């Protein structure tokens, strides 16, 4: 199957994950894609292709050359749930420059001035949405590229390679993709997540990350007789948020700067909930941000009474740099592969995270590669088909026998 045909068949399946779900996977519909991938791998001739009870997909392509390391390739199947993810209407176009009209009826336009990467994609085939949903390139582009590599290796026995392990995970977008990943059973010496953007990218620095849930308890009283009695939980939430540093937010930070990001704010007078993510590359600053959250909760409880604010902080992943620094050969292998594919490798700190960040601390060195996708987590998300094909060539060079 053609790479882009694969990709389009995968984005047609709604696989959004949900962070308020206690199950793994967090949504049952992720199994639809997991089972599809396991079957496709089995049909191609991969060994031990399977999807387990938690929607992790595993498979193996046996070595045809001795003395090679076991290389793992990993991508995630889920997409974010903060943007519509069902009934995606992808469209293929040859980009000739300028703005892209995504939806003429609704006057939705992707402006070239706001998407500087487009300047280098003139003449490329792009896959866009109709501007009302995400595309799912994060990370179904990575899934499709790994599947295209698997098909190539299994239909070209003359191509020399060691054992290749394949893994697809659920729930990465909610920070739980590595929770039940079987690192020991996977059996790779090292691995790469294929979950970035530019195909020349090799990423091994990422945020330290945590999720925070703030629950505020007010006291609802009829507004006509509320004086001295009502405590409005919605206003408590506004006050709590005001206690955090005003400029430490995504829209005011870049590079290595961390932030607090208020993802949702729901509630009524009696009870309100605020959900945050906390991010910082620096471990000490990360701990300080968590302490700032705790101090804000303590101040509110001191002012309004104990139990007014409850705060739960759940760590999601850590900066992989500390682990990858011990395995420079893994980065060097990827950089060599990128050069052999005709590109110059670029490494920038990831203002996000991947399953690889968690897997590094579970004993599997796992930096991140690009996919050819862009504008992730939004309705202007798109994928560059030409760049996706370049990624497949990079993956070939990564697994090629030395």
pLDDT digits (tens, 9 = 90+) for 9-32: 999 999 999 988 999 999 999 999
HSE-CB of 343 using CA atoms within 13 angstroms: 22
SS3 247: coil
b/e string for 337-376 if b means 16 or more Cβ within 10 A? bbeebebebeeebbbbbbbbbbbbeeebbbbbbbbbbbbb
Pairing of strands 208-217, 309-317: antiparallel
**pLDDT value of residue 398:** 98
Q: What is the pLDDT of residues 122-148, one digit of tens each?
A: 999 999 999 999 999 999 999 999 999
| Interior angle at CA 168, CA 166 and CA 172, nearest 5 | 140
Identify the CA nearest to 384 among candidates 44, 8, 121. 121
Section 232-242 average pLDDT: 97
Section 213-223 average pLDDT: 94
Q: Name the strand (E) or helix (H) holding 359.
A: helix 355-360
Section 66-80 average pLDDT: 98
Q: What is the pLDDT of residues 334-365, one digit of tens each?
A: 999 999 999 999 998 888 878 999 999 999 99
What average pLDDT does the chain have?
Answer: 96
| Interior angle at CA 151, CA 149 and CA 154, nearest 5 | 105
> Residues 239, 244, 250, 254: what is their CA dihedral angle, to the nearest 10 degrees?
160
SS3 338: helix
Going 41 to 45 to 46 to 51, the CA torsion angle's sign is positive
Note the CATH number of domain 3-206+319-399. Answer: 3.40.630.10
- The confidence band for 226, taking pLDDT boundaries of 50, 70 and 90, is confident
Q: Is the pLDDT of residue 239 over 90?
A: yes
**pLDDT value of residue 102:** 98
Least confident segment among 53-57, 259-263, 274-278, 346-350: 346-350
Establish whether 386 is a catalytic residue.
no
Domain ranges of the chain: 3-206+319-399, 208-317
Establish whether 172 is a catalytic residue.
yes
Catalytic residue among 19, 40, 172, 205: 172
Catalytic residue among 78, 173, 203, 384: 78
- CATH topology for 208-317 is Alpha-Beta Plaits (3.30.70)
Least confident segment among 247-261, 342-356, 372-386: 342-356
CATH topology of 3-206+319-399 equal to that of 208-317?
A: no
> How far apart (Å, rounded) are the C-alpha atoms in residues 164 and 59?
9
> How far apart (Å, rounded) are the C-alpha atoms in residues 311 and 315?
13
Q: Is the pLDDT of residue 175 over 90?
A: no
Identify the CA nearest to 56 among candidates 156, 190, 179, 184. 179
Under 8 Å between Cβ of 85 and 136: yes
């Amino acid at each position: 199957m053609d790479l882009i045909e694969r990709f389009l068949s995968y984005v047609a399946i709604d696989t959004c994950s949900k962070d308020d779900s206690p199950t793994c996977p967090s949504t049952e519909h992720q199994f639809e894609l997991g089972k599809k991938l396991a079957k496709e791998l089995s049909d191609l001739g991969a060994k031990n292709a399977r999807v387990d009870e938690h929607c992790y997909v595993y498979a193996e392509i046996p070595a045809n050359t001795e003395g090679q390391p076991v290389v793992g390739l990993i991508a995630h199947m889920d997409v974010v749930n903060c943007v519509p993810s069902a009934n995606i209407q992808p469209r293929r176009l040859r980009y000739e420059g300028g703005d892209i009209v995504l939806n003429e009826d609704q006057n939705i336009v992707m402006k070239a001035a706001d998407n500087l990467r487009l300047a280098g994609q003139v003449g490329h085939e792009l896959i866009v949405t109709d501007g009302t949903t995400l595309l799912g390139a994060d990370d179904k582009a990575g899934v499709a590229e790994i599947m295209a590599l698997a098909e190539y290796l299994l239909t070209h026995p003359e191509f020399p390679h060691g054992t290749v392990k394949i893994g697809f995970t659920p729930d990465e977008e909610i920070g739980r993709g590595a929770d039940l990943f079987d690192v020991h059973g996977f059996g790779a010496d090292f691995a790469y997540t294929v979950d970035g953007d530019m195909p020349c990218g090799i990423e091994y620095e990422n945020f330290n990350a945590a999720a925070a849930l703030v629950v505020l308890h007010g006291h609802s009283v009829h507004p006509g007789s509320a004086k001295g009695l009502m405590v409005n939980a919605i206003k408590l939430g506004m006050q709590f948020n005001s206690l955090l540093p005003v400029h430490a937010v995504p829209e005011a930070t870049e590079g290595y700067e961390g932030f607090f990001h208020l993802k949702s704010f729901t509630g009524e007078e009696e009870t309100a909930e605020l959900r945050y993510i906390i991010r910082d590359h620096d471990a000490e600053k990360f701990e300080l941000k968590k302490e700032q959250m705790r101090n804000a909760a303590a101040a509110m409880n001191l002012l309004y009474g104990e139990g007014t604010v409850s705060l739960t902080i759940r760590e999601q992943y850590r900066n992989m740099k500390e682990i990858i620094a011990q395995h420079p050969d893994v980065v060097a292998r990827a950089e060599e592969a990128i050069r052999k594919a005709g590109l110059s490798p670029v490494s920038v700190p990831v203002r996000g995270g991947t399953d690889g960040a968690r897997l590094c601390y579970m004993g599997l060195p796992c930096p991140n590669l690009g996919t050819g996708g862009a504008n992730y987590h939004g309705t202007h998300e798109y994928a560059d088909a030409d760049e996706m094909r370049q990624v497949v060539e990079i993956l070939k060079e990564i697994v090629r026998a030395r």
